[in-house]
Amino acid sequence: MKSSWPCTRLPQEPELLVLQPRASTCEKCPRKCQKGYVRNQQTCKCIKVGNDSESKDKEKQGKCPSGQVLDPAEGGQDASTANPKCIADDASKCGQGEVPESRPKKDGGGPKDTVDCAKDLKEEDKPKCTKSEYRFIEIQHSVDGKTAKYSCQKTRDWDRRKDSKFEETKARKKAEYEKRKAERDRERQEREERERQDRERRDKEKAERKKKRLGKCLTIVPLAMDGDSMAFSDEFFDEDFVSSDEMLQYWPADIPDVDETVNLDSDEFLEGWIGPISNSDWLLTPMTPFKRRSLQDDAADEIQSPHEKRFIPGIIGAILGFIGRAAPVITRFGATAGSRLAGATARLAKAGRSSQSLSKMKDAASKVSKDKNWQRCLKGKGPE
């Protein structure tokens, strides 16, 4: 296979070699250098025998203008590079066998008035730099004179590739971060949504607990009140009102929640509440006799029996169940001689069936909620 790259032999390695693009070492070449040419050990190019110095000068200059040479600190360029990075030829101001001090990478490359030079080292005493490095010369001064100290430093080409790689890595890391952030945000939003739904569920359950107890107490606390207030227990309030959010305004702020350790539906609570208020001496002020219900009224309200078969929502079902247990207790204590509960009962009107307006129901509920026994009932305590 024919190659357009010059090649030569290494004295210690007789294989034919070729210089590859942007390479600092020689690769095996399939052809010999033409007659009269040998390999330059730094460039791997074929140069004429006996004219090595001139060839080196041309390689150093490349396509730079006269008086300038390829900037070794640039890296990634050779004699064939178009529009190369060039610097002033400082070596032209040094004596025979001397080398100039290298310029910093940030140097603009313009001509200097004076150049610090020192005797060059033998090739075997110079460091072997990688393709991403160049030989940097520092001139050291001592009592014995000046000495050229060689070291390997990274080229600007390596710096740019490093910066480019850094930017690529930075962009990749940023993309990964944004992805993780989006996932975290999504997880946070999902968690907050679950927490919001849990709060709403707990608040709803808490509100329902309160409404159930409010509705129960609204049917028996009036029995402990005087005058016409006793009538509030008998179909004054309807199902729509006691199950609405309007009821929550009558829950005292200093009672955090329903004390479910006390069961208002139990015989112990009902008898402990109704028994004391059935005594004729319970209230010292005169009261309006309670209206007795007819058999027709009882028949009409039979649907509120615990055994009714219509669908009853949770809150209303709980209140009607309580009324179903409280009614016989009220009747039993009302049947005793001289009971102030004679003929009294506790009933809840069906939705929209109350003879009272919403405004009157609110006024009555407000009055009941201000009674001294209102909070005692909500807390599951007996009357006083």
Q: How many CB atoms lie within 10 A of CB 180?
A: 10
Per residue in 316-348, pLDDT (tens digit) is 999 999 999 999 999 999 888 888 888 888 999
Residue that wins the pLDDT comparison between 59 and 120: 120
Mean pLDDT for the chain overall: 81
Identify the three-state secondary structure at position 19. Answer: strand
Q: How many CB atoms lie within 10 A of CB 207?
A: 15
Per residue in 61-73, pLDDT (tens digit) is 888 998 899 999 9
Q: Which residues lie below 8 Å from residue 303, measured CB to CB, with a gap of 6+? A: 310, 350
CA quadruple 337, 341, 346, 349: dihedral sign: positive
Q: Do 250 and 212 meet the contact criterion of CB atoms below 8 Å apart?
A: no
Beta bridge partners of 118: 99
Per residue in 364-384, pLDDT (tens digit) is 999 999 999 999 999 999 998
Per residue in 16-59, pLDDT (tens digit) is 444 444 444 555 554 466 666 665 544 556 666 555 556 677 78
CA distance 151 to 163: 23
Q: Which residues lie below 8 Å from residue 156, measured CB to CB, with a gap of 6+? A: 73, 74, 75, 85, 105
In the numeric block, which tokens belong to residue 91? 């070596």
CA distance 249 to 205: 16
**pTM of the predicted protein model:** 0.53
Q: Do 264 and 219 meet the contact criterion of CB atoms below 8 Å apart?
A: no
Identify the three-state secondary structure at position 234. Answer: strand
CA distance 273 to 296: 29
Distance from first CA to last CA of the chain, Å, rounded? 115
